Amino acid sequence: MNSSTPGIEPELHARRAASFGARAAAYAEHRPDYPEKALAWGLAGARHAPERVLDLAAGTGKVSEGLLPLGVEVTAVEPDEKMLAELKKALPSVTPLSGTAEEIPLPDGSVDAVVVGQAVHWFDLDRAYPEMARVLKPGGVVAALWNHDDESVEWLAELNGLIKSSMSRRWLSDYESLPEHEAFEPFEKKTFGHRQPRTAETLVATLATHSHMLVAPAEEREAKLRTAREFLDRNPETASGEFDLPITTTVFRTRKR
């Protein structure tokens, strides 16, 4: 369980995990948020209504931004200083801390929930699970979320087929459950519909923030992004003005034993 991303080499896994900081501002601008109902369902797995929530591997604060309207106190832990700087700028009411899932800079039993957006596949779960259990209060919840393109939409499935790169891999969110751990009950899984307003230009900008694009050879990356823009420009549903990008949000939740 050392690497939680099946089918990906450790060196490539590390490169992809560390690739986002160079595009932190673009990530903050273009990556989608998370639907409130998905975050609320994740928190509802706790034995008691959460008051203090940890946004772990917080990035630029996409999860934190969604948690604040739910009336909780948010602490964000993120290892990349450039990503954390974007979070600080956007969300001054969130407590920002530098740290990792394997070494969480919080006391034992200090939070009611740990929420992770788009990041569990980067963790060393042998170390991260015990750390999450340590900082959680008894009965606290872990909720892991992923936003995916809804490939039941034909044009989006076609686009994603065109832009798969040599760095593309399958992620944990494709599976029916996350790896289990003795500190936690079995995971529950639920999906939610979501959408993000996009144009052809901003969707290509979003694609450019994906880790498989960030670590792909420059020539391949530029070719794939050019292919994406050409497709969007000729596809009737995306060729003119703003459209909705259909998203499926997958949530896994588990309670501390």
Mean pLDDT, to the nearest integer, of 55-59? 97
Question: Is residue 87 included in any domain, yes or no?
Answer: yes
Domain count, the chain: 1
158-213, pLDDT tens digit by residue? Answer: 998 998 755 455 555 566 789 999 999 999 999 999 999 999 999 999 888 887 77
Question: Is residue 114 included in any domain, yes or no?
Answer: yes
* Helices assigned H by DSSP within the chain: 10-17, 24-30, 36-43, 62-67, 81-90, 125-135, 154-163, 200-207, 211-214, 218-234
Mean pLDDT, to the nearest integer, of 97-124? 96
Is the pLDDT assigned to residue 217 strictly greater than 90?
no
Q: Which residues constitute the domain of residue 35?
A: 10-150+171-197+246-256
> Whose CA is closest to 147, among 246, 15, 12?
246
Question: Is residue 235 included in any domain, yes or no?
Answer: no
129-162, pLDDT tens digit by residue? Answer: 999 999 999 999 999 999 999 999 999 999 989 9
Question: Is residue 92 included in any domain, yes or no?
Answer: yes
Question: Is residue 31 included in any domain, yes or no?
Answer: yes
Arithmetic mean of pLDDT over the chain: 88
Question: Is residue 21 included in any domain, yes or no?
Answer: yes
CATH number at residue 192: 3.40.50.150
Question: Is residue 162 included in any domain, yes or no?
Answer: no
Question: Is residue 5 included in any domain, yes or no?
Answer: no
